[in-house]
Amino acid sequence: LRDLPTEVQERAGRNLLAGVAMDEYADDLGRGDFLIRNLLGVDRERGAIAINDYVRVGQTLQFQLRDAEAATEELNALLDRAREAMAGEAAGGLLCACNGRGQGMFGEPDHDAAAVADRLGSVPIAGLFCNGEIGPVGGTPFVHGFTASLALFVPVGEDPER
């Protein structure tokens, strides 16, 4: 951390997290490939850190920095992808946002709900703040922190096979 610019060091003091790679064999890891976990402590004598998860030998761990701009970009990209995947409009949605998000992180209230409205239109949304949100990483569901999970309810067509 000492080699980082002063501004990043200051932000890291309040926002540093650990990202656990879900596929340590992947050639190129990026957004969406890490399960984000809290840093619980540091043992300088042993050169060890503690996080709130089990990490296997050989598994990739990458430090992550909570960042409002990056979180907004990722949320918008996921909402765009959801919109494209739906045939028509959603009938409604349930938005579960971490209590570590909101005005404290984004500087404005209702950030995540506003992003849903902006990207998906006038879909009725119910929501709540959480301390642990369920969502997938690499196709497997996990309990997350500092994230927003959105379940969209899509009307079933007349095709009985759907």
Is the pLDDT confidence value at 160 over 70?
Answer: no
Q: Whole-angstrom Cα distance, residue 74 to residue 76?
A: 5
Name the one residue in this structure whose structure tokens are 């992003």.
115
Cα dist. 125→13, 110, 149 in Å?
A: 34, 12, 12
* Domain residue ranges of the chain, discontinuous segments joined by +: 6-65, 68-153
pLDDT at residue 151 in the model: 95
Rounded to 5 degrees, φ, ψ at 70 are -65, -40
pLDDT at residue 119 in the model: 95
Q: Whole-angstrom Cα distance, residue 26 to residue 58?
A: 13
For 130-139, what is each residue's pLDDT tens digit?
A: 999 999 888 8
pLDDT at residue 83 in the model: 93
pLDDT at residue 5 in the model: 83
- pLDDT, the chain, mean: 89
From the CA atom positions of the chain, what is the Rg in Å? Answer: 18
Is the pLDDT confidence value at 12 over 90?
Answer: no
Is residue 93 within 8 Å of 126, Cβ to Cβ? yes
pLDDT at residue 87 in the model: 74
Name the band, by pLDDT with cuts 50, 70 and 90, for residue 145: confident
Q: Which residues contact 115 (CB under 8 A, 6 or more apart)?
A: 72, 75, 76, 79
pLDDT at residue 4 in the model: 79
For 81-113, what is each residue's pLDDT tens digit?
A: 999 998 778 999 999 999 989 898 999 999 999
pLDDT at residue 161 in the model: 56
Name the one residue in this structure whose structure tokens are 């209702």.
110
Q: Whole-angstrom Cα distance, residue 143 to residue 133?
A: 5
- Tell me the pTM: 0.83
DSSP state of 41: E
Q: Which residues contact 118 (CB under 8 A, 6 or more apart)?
A: 76
158 beta partners? none
